[in-house]
Structure 1
């Protein structure tokens, strides 16, 4: 049930009737006609822009169209009033029974209330985290992991068949640096002098890896030339790092469907095959790039012929080299092959979640998909996650040095738990910086959105427990058949209005790839519920359990239960467990 969609259908039907009567010309496009909550609740329950968007193509004044439309809509039994405002906006007030019916719909559909079919029959690939496997995941990766996982959950709720994917950056020189760093820890484990030279990874996280290397190899690799130990140390250390990454993600509640290895692209010849295919399509050529714009070229710069990808034809600033002067592949080459593989796998939607430091990659990655998607079938989006700053007692907080120079994802989880971590990471847009204050996120107040939402769910659970003690039936089917016309107080109707927004909100969030909208909505819904609860302290008739009046109690409990159902659905999208009680 999407009440806004239903009322929009009513508006469109009225417009079509006006066309049939000659009040509006034929051939008008109603695609931009919207029905949404008004900016000011005093203006009614819903507002439509129909007259404003149709005035110019219809060759009529907006108010004239709005007045004719208002007359049609007022005849519908669901509409109490349709009033023209300003230059031609139309504000609608609905009967209380419409809002009361939302409660029955929520209880009848359960957590499926709000699910959409907008993604039905479509597939989506969401790639996120994709950190270099050279150390533990840090707090920046944490935000990308939560955002990507919540976005995947949101798209699934909106009907898409979603694949969660991790791109393992194990094909570059950094994994050899990792191996050399681990070798020094291996020497340390064998009681020998070791040196973490500049350029190596200094974190203590490699100490247990060194010990594990000793257990596997003993001292057999000591003082051997690098050529004899590099491959073995690299593979062992890579496997250890990836195992730690998997465990850290699991602790956060993140599980990937696909783990794609960059190294496999190098070793399998997939890059060469991709470039050969793209060459046949005319997307790869040999040419010479101009010197970097806006600054003097390096002293050793000289024009030379290179293998280039035609990125500028698809919106990039320059054509991108795919091969270095020594014959090796540039970093761009595996990215090209990887995204070509995604396109060929047939996804309808492809989304990359990057850290803010990858902002310079956006144009080139979009150029890749635009060029490779010859049929223009794929919807491609890149979401950048800005930095996270950690605070405690109002001061920047450093928890651990064991990782070297950064704070790990596991440190954050160990401090506040996965549910708090996930919710807080979604309390800002992904492209806005986020302050994570360890005191505030555990604070039990309205200022803490995690607590505020969880507390609303816990309060409903307490109502259900008290109802059971009073012998009041609270099965959802029974509550859905209660006399919901008893929910007639403005504070109760306010809660039902907010519940009605949920299906619309889901579609907007899924269409814009913005899961933070879910967190924002849950906070607002919790606010309406807490307001109703608090008013019950002063007005006994608003309390959820009415002594000696089972029928009224069931109607009010039905409203509370419907709030819990929607909160549960929203938290499930975000990967957060609802609270049954607050401790």
Structure 2
């Protein structure tokens, strides 16, 4: 459970105390497990503020019926002045209505905890490795990478806030055929820098102009040394330099989004260090790899398919539909074989692994999950492993598909996007849908000043609060908790919503779903705007009342804490809260 400072944790403790008292009186058997007891808001807010299933989940162990047990629990809870009423619903749920003082207390807790309000100890002692982005090092970051980058980064911040140690990792695919193509593309730009007319870029090579500076740098450094040389002499050098330059470009692009990784793991280095060979030896030792022949692919006749004996990983043991080769017939590693060794390396240093992949990788999920399950057995501890698939984003401008960028050849870069609408708009918008849902990103809509634009709506609520505080200060009025008992039902309804933040953080962290924070912020902003608008229709509902500084101080204090919760939520999304709009 999270910090005892939060309302839900405090009431969970009250319920635990009531159960302990019943045990002491021998109304409940001693030592029964309370693990399944929950405290949460009831589905229907009209039923009360909190609901607990304590009687439902403990009745069987207590050899009594749930309603009878609920009556005993209610009797204990009703004696608490923080609880206005405790009622039994249906077969034995207990609904609690809290005294107004409980909500005022929560408002003071938000003020006391400030930027730490909502922080949790849920993941204490657990290290989670989150691998995200991991784009091929062949060019600048484009829109296809953006959503996964933001989802991974927000998930990392969320899990840290919920108490986990988080390792943010980027896997550099610098060992495949695509980096040889990159080296050839750079060689072409090197030739061009030395005055060779290269004409149209041949199909299959990378056409982007972003490779020109690397070609020029190599020409400046080596002159025409490699101009007539065979590829075997320059390929290794050009490949290494090109990958290093591309990674510098990628890091700079990610920094525009406020994204920084802790670890960059190179596939080439992994292979050079013999990690896949070690993985294969370990898997053979544990009878998880054997030499066998794959079945003919569906639809192929024997004439155009040749059976070859390959080292196969027993992924069918772990729920995959066929065993998978870890090497190709020429002895080189399959993508899966290299990936397996990489996950083995990560699993050695973490309690849990999360990969954020593009939806086009859906077919690989089963086999890599099988591999991690096998490694878990070998480590002697289960290593939870989750793959989050992120759908592509369709770029629009006023409803029309966007024309592509010139700089990169055929796509819109992250740098283009951030330059046009800003980091905060990009990040927040990417978190307004579940990652597995299709998404449209319309350049015109994401900057619209309207209720339909979540990023504007949430930022506007924060800016409104800040401008009200500045206006009050100019009039010699200040927020104060001294008279919070004067806050009425409209204000306390806002506190009730803000008080959901610590629970939302824990639920989002447990589900690994950072978009839940964006949804919560939208609801909180909407409630604040509705509260604000009441003052337009009834001057007595305004926040600043010159004739009543005490009520003004209490309402300003409320606004200040709602602003704090919005800031805390935005910080998890990597979005700065604006002071004015």
TM-score bracket relative to the smaller structure: over 0.9
- Mapped to 1, the partners of 2:14 and 2:278 lie a distance apart of 55
Matches within 5 A, 1:145-544: 145-189=149-193, 190-292=195-297, 295-296=299-300, 299-345=303-349, 347-373=350-376, 374-474=379-479, 479=480, 481-487=481-487, 489-544=488-543
Deviation at 1:238, TM superposition (A): 1.4
Question: Once structures 1 and 2 are overlaid, which stretch shifts more, 544-553 or 515-524?
Answer: 544-553
- Mapped to 2, the partners of 1:56 and 1:542 lie a distance apart of 50
- Mapped to 2, the partners of 1:298 and 1:126 lie a distance apart of 43
Partner of 1:570: 569
- Mapped to 2, the partners of 1:173 and 1:298 lie a distance apart of 28
Output one character per residue of 1:436-491: Cα deviation in whole Å (capped at 9) or x when no partner: 111111011111110111111111111221222122345xxxx3x4222111x222
- Mapped to 1, the partners of 2:368 and 2:20 lie a distance apart of 44
Partner of 2:123: 119
- Mapped to 1, the partners of 2:112 and 2:302 lie a distance apart of 68
Deviation at 1:553, TM superposition (A): 2.1
- Mapped to 2, the partners of 1:574 and 1:79 lie a distance apart of 35
Name the SS for the 1:381 alignment partner: strand
Normalising by structure 2, what TM-score? 0.93
Output one character per residue of 1:183-221: Cα deviation in whole Å (capped at 9) or x when no partner: 223333324234422222233333333333333333332
Name the SS for the 1:327 alignment partner: coil
- Mapped to 1, the partners of 2:539 and 2:86 lie a distance apart of 34
- Mapped to 2, the partners of 1:417 and 1:340 lie a distance apart of 38
Unaligned segments of structure 2, at least 5 residues: none
- Mapped to 1, the partners of 2:175 and 2:122 lie a distance apart of 38
Partner of 2:96: 92
2:37 equivalent to 1:38: no
Aligned residues: 574
- Mapped to 2, the partners of 1:135 and 1:193 lie a distance apart of 20
Normalising by structure 1, what TM-score? 0.93
Question: Once structures 1 and 2 are overlaid, which stretch shifts more, 355-364 or 403-412?
Answer: 403-412
- Mapped to 2, the partners of 1:409 and 1:56 lie a distance apart of 57
Name the SS for the 2:530 alignment partner: helix
Is this contact kept in 2: 1:184–1:195, CA < 8 A?
Answer: no
Deviation at 1:33, TM superposition (A): 2.1
Partner of 2:555: 556
Is this contact kept in 2: 1:184–1:194, CA < 8 A?
Answer: no
Name the SS for the 1:578 alignment partner: coil
Deviation at 1:299, TM superposition (A): 4.2
Is this contact kept in 2: 1:167–1:259, CA < 8 A?
Answer: yes
- Mapped to 2, the partners of 1:548 and 1:330 lie a distance apart of 76
Unaligned segments of structure 1, at least 5 residues: none
- Mapped to 1, the partners of 2:276 and 2:532 lie a distance apart of 61
Output one character per residue of 1:59-108: Cα deviation in whole Å (capped at 9) or x when no partner: 55444443443333222211111222334333211111101111100111
Question: Once structures 1 and 2 are overlaid, which stretch shifts more, 70-79 or 322-331?
Answer: 70-79
